[in-house]
Amino acid sequence: MIEDERYCIEILQQVQAIKSALAKVEDAILKDHAATCVESAIASGDESEQRKKVGELIDLLGKVKR
């Protein structure tokens, strides 16, 4: 669109659509991770693995807030 010299607002609208789509993908992956990896760590009873998986989530959520 930039190479075609499209109107700035059109480009910005497309950027917003891409950001929204990526946010939805991010949410889906996070939900899947919680439902599989984190749930498996909890079920395992391995406290070290549980801490690791929860720590990963906390780190990720901290980055998302920024």
SS (H, E, C) 2-66: CCCCCCHHHHHHHHHHHHHHHHHHHHHHHHHHHHHHHHHHHHHCCHHHHHHHHHHHHHHHHHHHC
Question: For 45-61, how does the pLDDT look when each residue is reduced to its tens digit (9 = 90+)?
Answer: 999 999 999 999 899 88
Report which residue type is found at 21: A
pLDDT of residue 2: 87
For residue 2, tell me if it sits in a domain: no
For residue 38, tell me if it sits in a domain: yes
Which domain, by its residues, includes 55? 24-65
- pTM for the full model? 0.70
Q: Can you tell me which residue has the tokens 């391995």?
A: 46
For residue 10, tell me if it sits in a domain: no
The confidence band for 22, taking pLDDT boundaries of 50, 70 and 90, is very high
Domain total of the chain: 1
For residue 6, tell me if it sits in a domain: no
For residue 57, tell me if it sits in a domain: yes
